[in-house]
C-alpha cells in the first residue's frame, strides 16, 4: 500500500470539545489549574458539574469530522440541537478508541433499559483495562455506565452545557485561535510537498515517531490549538484515520494575554526537576523504555511515565511508538539548546506596553 492521501481540515469545533478536556484535566495538558478553574466557574452550576462528571468521555470525533463547513462552534451547536434528545448520547459520548460491536451493544442496552448491573460493570472495566494505558478507577466505570443509563438527561445537559460554554468563553476563544489553525494547515501543506510522510507526522506532532504508516488510504489532518503538542489518532470509516496535531505557536499561550509562552514555561518547568534531568541524561546515551528507566532510576513505573509525559509536553523528548504499543523515548536533538535560545529571546523582547523585558527597572 502506498502513502495515504492527506485531507486537511480547519474547524474550531474540534477545539471546542478538546478544550473541555484540557480545562477539566489541566495538569495533564500543562495548563495552570487556577486559570482553568476560573474558566469553569463561568458555567452554571448544573452544567459545570455535568462536565466535571462526563468531560473525560466526550470524544465525538466521528461527529466532528462529519459536521458541515465551517465546522465551528455555532455549527456544532446547531447540528447537535437538531438531533433528537436520545440520539445525542451515542454521537457525543465515546472513547479515544472505537469500542467495537459487543461493547456498543452493551451500552445501547444499558441506555434502552435505563439501568446496568454487575456484569455490565465487569465487561466495561475489562474493555477499558485493555484499551487504556492505566487501569480505570471504579468511579470512572460507574460514571460512564450511569451516563449511558440516562440518555435523555445527558442529551439535554450536553446541549445546554455546550451552549453555556460557548457563550461564556469559547465564542471569543475561537476567534483568537482560528488564524493559528489556518496557519498550521498552510505550513503543514507546504511541508508535505517536500517531506516524507513519516517525517511530516513527526514534525507536526513535535516529537512523535511512528515506525510505520497507518494502513489506510486517507489521513484527515486536523490542527488543534488546545492539545499542543499532543496528538490524537482515531480511526474513522474504513480506510480513513484522523490525525489531530498541535497548532499552537511556540510563542503563544493557552491563557489569553499571557506574556510567557507555554512552550518556554513547560520546558523550564521540566528542566527544574532533578529526576527529569537524570532521565534526559540517560536518554542522551540511548533510547529507553519507561520500564527500563524505572529500573535504572529505582522508581515506580507510573512515576517515570509521569515524568516522561512532562518532558513530552515540553518538547524535549522523542516518543517512538512501536509494535503493540511499545514506547521508546530519546532526547530531541537541539531541544535543550532551543529552550535556552527561546529564554534569551524572551528576556530581550518588549512586553505589550513596550517596556522592554518584564521586570526591568
Of 197, 218, 246, the position where a domain reaches its end is 246
Q: Could you tell me if residue 256 is inside a domain?
A: no
- Asked if pLDDT for residue 213 goes beyond 70, the answer is yes
Q: What is the pTM of this model?
A: 0.90
- The answer on 194 and 134 residing in a single domain is yes
Say yes or no to pLDDT of 171 above 80: yes
Residues 149 and 295 in one domain: no
216 and 332 co-located in one domain:
no
DSSP characters over 159-228: HHHHHHHIIIIIHHHHHHHHHHHHHHHHHHHHHHTTS-HHHHHHHHHTSEEESS--S-SEEEEEEESSST
Residue 309 has pLDDT above 60, yes or no: yes
With 0-12 CB in 10 A as exposed, 13-18 as middle and 19+ as buried, what is 51?
A: buried
Residues 158 and 271 occupy one common structural domain: no
Last residue within a domain, chosen from 222, 246, 270: 246
Domains in the chain: how many in total? 2
- Band (215; pLDDT cuts 50, 70, 90): confident
pLDDT of residue 115: 95
Same domain, 131 and 219: yes
Tell whether 21 is covered by a domain: yes
Q: Given this model, what pLDDT does residue 295 score?
A: 96
Average pLDDT, integer, range 150-158: 96
Range of the domain at 290: 262-348
Q: Are 230 and 208 in contact (CB under 8 A)?
A: no
Percentages helix, strand, coil for the chain (3-state, rounded to 5) are: 60, 10, 30
If asked whether residues 12 and 112 sit together in one domain, one would say: yes
Identify the bridge partners of residue 320 per DSSP, sorted by sequence position: 209, 328
Identify the pLDDT of residue 359.
Answer: 47
Clarify whether residues 26 and 111 are in a common domain: yes
Per-residue confidence band for 100, with pLDDT thresholds at 50, 70 and 90:
confident
Residue that terminates a domain, selected from 195, 220, 246: 246
Structure confidence at residue 361 (pLDDT): 39
Q: Are residues 205 and 271 in the same domain?
A: no
Query: What CATH number should be reported for the domain holding residue 334?
Result: 1.10.10.10
One domain for residues 275 and 132: no
Q: Is residue 285 part of a domain?
A: yes
High-pLDDT (> 90) share of the chain, %: 77
Question: Mean pLDDT across the chain, nearest whole number?
Answer: 91
pLDDT at 103 over 90: no
pLDDT at 130 over 70: yes
The model's confidence at residue 142, banded by pLDDT at 50, 70 and 90, is: very high
pLDDT of 263 higher than 80? yes
* pLDDT beyond 60 at 67: yes
For residue 12, being part of any structural domain is answered with yes
In a domain, 254, yes or no: no
Most trustworthy range by pLDDT among 80-94, 170-184, 277-291? 170-184
Is 150 within the bounds of a domain? yes
Whether the pLDDT of residue 128 is over 70: the answer is: yes
Is there a single domain that holds both residue 271 and residue 332?
yes
Does one domain contain both 112 and 206? yes
Is 359 within a domain?
A: no
Residue 361 to residue 356: CA distance in whole angstroms: 10
Mark whether 121 and 204 lie in a shared domain. yes
Asked if the structure places residue 287 within a domain, the reply is yes
Question: What confidence score (pLDDT) does residue 323 get?
Answer: 66
Amino acid at each position: 500500500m502506498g502513502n495515504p492521501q492527506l485531507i486537511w481540515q480547519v474547524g474550531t469545533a474540534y477545539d471546542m470539545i478538546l478544550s473541555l478536556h484540557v480545562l477539566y484535566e489541566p495538569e495533564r495538558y500543562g495548563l495552570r489549574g487556577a486559570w482553568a478553574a476560573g474558566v469553569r466557574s463561568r458555567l452554571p452550576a448544573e452544567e459545570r458539574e455535568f462536565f466535571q462528571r462526563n468531560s473525560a468521555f466526550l470524544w465525538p470525533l466521528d461527529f466532528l469530522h462529519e459536521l458541515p463547513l465551517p465546522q465551528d462552534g455555532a455549527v456544532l451547536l446547531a447540528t447537535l440541537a437538531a438531533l433528537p434528545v436520545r440520539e445525542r448520547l451515542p454521537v457525543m459520548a465515546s472513547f479515544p478508541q472505537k469500542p467495537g460491536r459487543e461493547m456498543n451493544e452493551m451500552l445501547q442496552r444499558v441506555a434502552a433499559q435505563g439501568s446496568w448491573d454487575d456484569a455490565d460493570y465487569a465487561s466495561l472495566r475489562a474493555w477499558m483495562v485493555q484499551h487504556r494505558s492505566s487501569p480505570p478507577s471504579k468511579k470512572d466505570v460507574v460514571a460512564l455506565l450511569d451516563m449511558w443509563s440516562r440518555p435523555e438527561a445527558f442529551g439535554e445537559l450536553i446541549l445546554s452545557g455546550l451552549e453555556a460554554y460557548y457563550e461564556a468563553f469559547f465564542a471569543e476563544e475561537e476567534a483568537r485561535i482560528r488564524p493559528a489553525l489556518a496557519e498550521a494547515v498552510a505550513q503543514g501543506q507546504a511541508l508535505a510537498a517536500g517531506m516524507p510522510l513519516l517525517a511530516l507526522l513527526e514534525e507536526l506532532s513535535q516529537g512523535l515517531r511512528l515506525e510505520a504508516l497507518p494502513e489506510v488510504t486517507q489521513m484527515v489532518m486536523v490542527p488543534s490549538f488546545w492539545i499542543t503538542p499532543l496528538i490524537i489518532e482515531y480511526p474513522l470509516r474504513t480506510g480513513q484515520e484522523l490525525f489531530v496535531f498541535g497548532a499552537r505557536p511556540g510563542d503563544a499561550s493557552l491563557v489569553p494575554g499571557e506574556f510567557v509562552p507555554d512552550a518556554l514555561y513547560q520546558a523550564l518547568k521540566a528542566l527544574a526537576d532533578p529526576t527529569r534531568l537524570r532521565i534526559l541524561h540517560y536518554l542522551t546515551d540511548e533510547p529507553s523504555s519507561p520500564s527500563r528507566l524505572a529500573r535504572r532510576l529505582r522508581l515506580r513505573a507510573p512515576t517515570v511515565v509521569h515524568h516522561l509525559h512532562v518532558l513530552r509536553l515540553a518538547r524535549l523528548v522523542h516518543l517512538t511508538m512501536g509494535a503493540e504499543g511499545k514506547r521508546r523515548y530519546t532526547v530531541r536533538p537541539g531541544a535543550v539548546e532551543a529552550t535556552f535560545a527561546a529564554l534569551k529571546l524572551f528576556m530581550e523582547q518588549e512586553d505589550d506596553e513596550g517596556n522592554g523585558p518584564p521586570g526591568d527597572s
